[in-house]
Amino acid sequence: MASRIVLNTISYHGHGAIENIVPELTSRGYKKAFVCSDPDLIKFGVTKKVTDLLDAAGFAYAVYSEIKPNPTIQNVQDGVAAFKAAEADCIVTIGGGSSMDTAKAIGIIINNPEFADVRSLEGVAPTKKHAVFTIAVPTTAGTAAEVTINYVITDVEKKRKFVCVDTNDIPEVAVVDPDMMSSMPKGLTAATGMDALTHAIEGYITKGHCTISDMFHLEAIKLISENLRGAVQNTPEGREGMALGQYIAGMGFSNVGLGIVHSMAHGLSALYDTPHGVACAIIL
């Protein structure tokens, strides 16, 4: 059986990678960005590293940050309304999995309005159009949401999380800049790093694995094992190694799937609002 590999059209890696955001937008003719981030990143000035670049270029944008750590159906619905109100034509999402997952759902619904009921996106939804053009800028080294075809939304009413898998949701451009991750506290760095390690281990042993995914996952395990401790201590080398390791893990598992650790971790997070990386670490 043939193996399918879906990746970003373009990705940038390394210190200063965010300098490529404005050129990517302007060269494609976009006029106004919908900046999707979370309240803490706004508060601590992390999002500002990107919006300062937009300001300097005179590129218009609107900010949406009403996103919970485990993003909800309501977060997505509010984001869709905010995108329309802003009259934006592209998305720049800055954050961890919560911001990027929310942005994916918003981008899909904007271009596929027949899926306005967020629950209808669960599983493999038969969307027809690619999501709104999106540049994804991770601020954590764990979820790899910037390179995956997956996103996870919490259904608060039913106390469950549901996974959406759609090749139309992958961001066209990923900007993986370790400088955007330097403000992560030690606990969050460790937790998101364990999420990345879980991705690599589960992706390597899942039934859907293939030679290409094995290559990604083995290298990711190596990079994470060598750099996670340094990242927790906030060394430049540790941050850069983890930024690359988590992305490489995402290149693999996005295409071949995960396993029982993640399925159990989603339940734990939905019931107790446990941070995803912590839930993965406990169950792994």
Does this model's pTM top 0.85? My answer is yes
Is 171 in contact with 21 (CB distance < 8 Å)? no
Whole-number pLDDT of residue 3: 86
Class of 186-283 in CATH:
mainly alpha
Whole-number pLDDT of residue 73: 95
The rounded distance, in Å, linking the Cα atoms of 267 and 265 is: 5
Whole-number pLDDT of residue 274: 85
Phi first, then psi, for residue 134 (nearest 5°) are: -130, 135
Parts of the chain with a pLDDT under 50 = none
Note the CATH number of domain 10-181: 3.40.50.1970
Whole-number pLDDT of residue 267: 86
Whole-number pLDDT of residue 160: 87
Question: pLDDT by residue (tens digit) across 96-128?
Answer: 989 999 999 999 999 999 999 999 999 999 999
Place of tokens 């940038």: 12
β-strands 160-165, 150-155 pairing: antiparallel
The rounded distance, in Å, linking the Cα atoms of 139 and 81 is: 25
Whole-number pLDDT of residue 97: 87
Whole-number pLDDT of residue 15: 95
DSSP-assigned letters across all residues of 210-264: -HHHHHHHHHHHHHHHHHHHHHHTT-HHHHHHHHHHHHHHHHHHHHH---HHHHH
Question: Where are the domains positioned within the chain?
Answer: 10-181, 186-283
- Classified as helix, coil or strand, 130 is coil
Place of tokens 């043939």: 2
The rounded distance, in Å, linking the Cα atoms of 27 and 20 is: 11
Is 17 in contact with 177 (CB distance < 8 Å)? yes
Q: How far is CA 185 from CA 122, 140, 189, 244, in A?
A: 32, 10, 6, 19
Q: How far is CA 280 from CA 43, 208, 222, in A?
A: 27, 20, 19
Whole-number pLDDT of residue 81: 98
Q: Which amino acid, one-letter code, is at 199?
A: H
Is 280 in contact with 262 (CB distance < 8 Å)? yes
Whole-number pLDDT of residue 197: 97
